[in-house]
A and B are shown apart, each in its own frame.
Chain A
Amino acid sequence: MIEIKGINKSFGDNHVLRDIDVTFESGKANLLIGASGSGKTTLCKCTVGLHSPDSGTISYDGRIFNLMSRTEKKEVRREIGFLFQGSALFDYMTVEENILFPIKMFSNLTKREGLDRVNFCLDRVDLNGANKLMPSELSGGMKKRVGIARAISAKPKYLFCDEPNSGLDPQTSILIDNLIKEITHEYNMTTVVITHDMNSVLEIGEHTSFIHKGVMLWDGTNKEIMDAETTELTDFVYASSFMKELKRMKG
């Protein structure tokens, strides 16, 4: 479980996050939704330590991350898997080397055992046989899946996904969403997914938090989101014609 309390973050005069309080529960896909520029990615980067918050605390299962020493932070970071928006695969490494990388750095597995783990992860994301391909040879969806395979290869306790289905076709998006949901339950991970895709919210948003202009406005499940009465959230949820039609039909 990741608990965030009273987080504030500014870049110069731009106050990006204002007193954010949110809890990401373990064994669930926790979705962080909001319009572009609302502070989702900044909150995520503060949570994993890429940005330092100006105030507030971030705790991983009771361990207060932003007050830790560098060595202690390193230990926590090794329990984190991160899927970047652009996948951030190491482009000078093959798919196999990319997935093997965290294993090679942090475990004492033999080469054979490491390769078995790579094949298991590739199988899990349905990319058998892609071992020797370079990232430049992969499609957008394949890159995301390799990114997920790399993120889970070292058996993380926490998984962060920054817009995992941006730029993907609807079918591949659903595939990626379901994959994230499955592995979250399978490994009982605390998963945080940043998205502004309402399909993802409805598919996998077991716990969804809505952030608007740096303020956490709403917290609930994907079942509750349709009936929420927060104006900013309803504006966000029913922005598309499809959702407007759905709302009209509903009632």
Chain B
Amino acid sequence: MFFVFSPNVGQSQSFLIDLQEVINVGQINSITNKNAPNVILGLTKQMYSYASIKFVFMLKILHQLGEYFIFISKVFRRPEKGKVFRELYVQELWKLGVGSIGIIVIISGFMGMVITIQTASQINSGWIPAYLVGYTTRQSMILEFSPTMLALILSGKIGSNIASELGTMRVSEQIDALEIMGINSANYLVLPKITALMSIMPFLVILSMFIGIFFGYVICETVEIITPSDYITGIQYDFRPFDIVYALIKATIFAFLITSVSSYYGYYASGSALEVGRSSTKAVVYSSIAVLVFNYIITQMLLI
């Protein structure tokens, strides 16, 4: 419960309206805005304390979390028609998965080369075996780069794509058109995206691992920082198959987070084209944050 005391009823009401605006719009700036009535800022300065802001933030986060889970419960229902779902699923596999192979090859290749060069340049002591360059490249690619960095890159590429697509459909009333037809629009539009990326992401991650490690080898062949045979020895050294399982589990969870968070922001976009742009930005920011938070949680759960 939040109480507002003021000698003037009007001022209390203004403050509450201001708070409501913050909850609705999510702009903390509005309560410290120069445009806010000076008298309110003066009389109720203490009310604009850190605690109040924190309270409003908490409310907003809880509201959004609740809305997100309601959205997810709408998404995970039985599709209207299996045949239509399968068609959309294949389309999304192509668009989200196959359409991302180019960027994955480029980024993974360069990352593999850079990790190899950086590790080789750091390990110049005779006491440290050269094959550790291959070992480090392999472990970096498998444990962190391929699943996590790739997810962050895809949250930019796919997240903005999904949010702007759904946002445009929302503001141009295409989602309303689906609802009026009696179709569960969240299920029809979002479920194929989530399932498609969740099923293709592990393959993309494996591809990324392979490309990164391969380009590390190419660097050894061309730049001669270590011998290719040392590199080969390194990538075979102390291999634990569970690392691959761990990476694939992470990749699948990240795929769910990227598609569901982006879809949520796109689906609930409202107003104009400007709002579609904003929802697209939010989709990228929040899906990236979700990926980083869950990366920590999964790592602690599976590796410790």
Contacts and interface: CB of A to CB of B under 8 A. Distances in A.
A85 B171 CA distance: 12
A122 to B, nearest CB: 18
Contacts of A90: 169, 174, 177
A78 B174 contact: no
Contacts of B179: 49-50, 77
A101 B81 CA distance: 12
A105 B180 contact: no
The A interface, classified by DSSP as helix, strand, loop or mixed, is mixed
Nearest to B179: A50
B174 A91 contact: yes
Contacts of B176: 50, 84, 88
**Which of B176, B179, B182 has its CB near the most chain A CB atoms (within 10 A)?**
B182
Nearest to A101: B181
Interface in A57-84: 73-78, 80, 82, 84
Contacts of A80: 180-182
Interface string A85-105: 110111100000000011011
B235 to A, nearest CB: 44
Contacts of A76: 182
A77 B172 contact: no
A106 B182 CA distance: 10
Interface residues of A, number: 24
B84 interface: yes
B177 A105 contact: no
A54 B168 CA distance: 29
Nearest to A45: B176
A216 to B, nearest CB: 23
B81 to A, nearest CB: 6
Contacts of A86: 172-173
Nearest to B174: A88
Interface in B160-209: 168-169, 172-174, 176-177, 179-183
B180 to A, nearest CB: 5
A48 interface: yes
B81 A105 contact: yes
A105 B173 contact: no
B80 interface: yes
B174 A75 contact: no
A84 B173 contact: yes
B180 A102 contact: no
Contacts of B173: 84-86, 88
Nearest to A73: B182
A76 B199 CA distance: 36
Interface string B136-174: 000000000000000000000000000000001100111
B181 A102 contact: yes
Contacts of B168: 91
B138 to A, nearest CB: 41
B180 A48 contact: yes
Contacts of B174: 88-91
A157 B81 CA distance: 23
Contact of B84 (A50, A73, A74, A105): A105
Contacts of B177: 82, 84, 88, 90
Nearest to B180: A82
Nearest to A160: B180
Contacts of B183: 105
Interface string B74-91: 000000110010000000
Given A86-B172, A105-B80, A105-B81, A74 B180 contact: no
B84 A77 contact: no
Nearest to A93: B174
Contacts of A82: 177, 180-181
Contacts of A50: 176, 179-180
Nearest to B80: A105
A78 B176 CA distance: 14
Interface of A: 48-50, 73-78, 80, 82, 84-86, 88-91, 101-102, 104-106, 154
Given A76-B182, A105-B84, 13 more contacts: A48-B180, A50-B180, A77-B180, A77-B182, A80-B182, A84-B176, A84-B177, A86-B173, A88-B173, A90-B174, A90-B177, A91-B168, A105-B183
8 contacts: A73-B182, A77-B179, A77-B180, A77-B182, A84-B176, A88-B173, A90-B169, A105-B183
